[in-house]
Amino acid sequence: MHDWKALVRKRLGPLALDPAREADIVEELAIHAAEHYAELTAAGMPELEAVAAALAPLGYPERVAAEIARAERARPAAS
């Protein structure tokens, strides 16, 4: 079993996220990575390749930062 949260957190390190939001972001991205991994292995992809493929989108910090910023703007303001 993979520790998806640890794998995701490691890749987000260069973004220096606000600690208050980092846990939520890591949780969400870890769920997506785990689901993608499960789909890939179910389709017959070898485990190591599936892990790399599931985490590949996190290898582009600029794109990840832009997506996080977009999602933050779309969040409703707290009451």
Residue 2 clears pLDDT 60, i.e. is over it: yes
End-to-end CA gap in the chain: 39
Residue 53 clears pLDDT 90, i.e. is over it: yes
- Higher-scoring residue by pLDDT: 44, 13: 44
Residues near 19 by Cβ (< 8 Å), separated by ≥ 6?
Answer: none
The mean pLDDT value of the chain amounts to: 86
The confidence score (pLDDT) of residue 79 equals: 52
Task: Return the C-alpha torsion angle 67, 3, 32, 66, nearest 10.
Answer: 0
- Higher-scoring residue by pLDDT: 38, 78: 38
> Among candidates 27, 3, 48, which has minimal Cα distance to 56?
48
The confidence score (pLDDT) of residue 22 equals: 87
Residue 10 clears pLDDT 70, i.e. is over it: yes
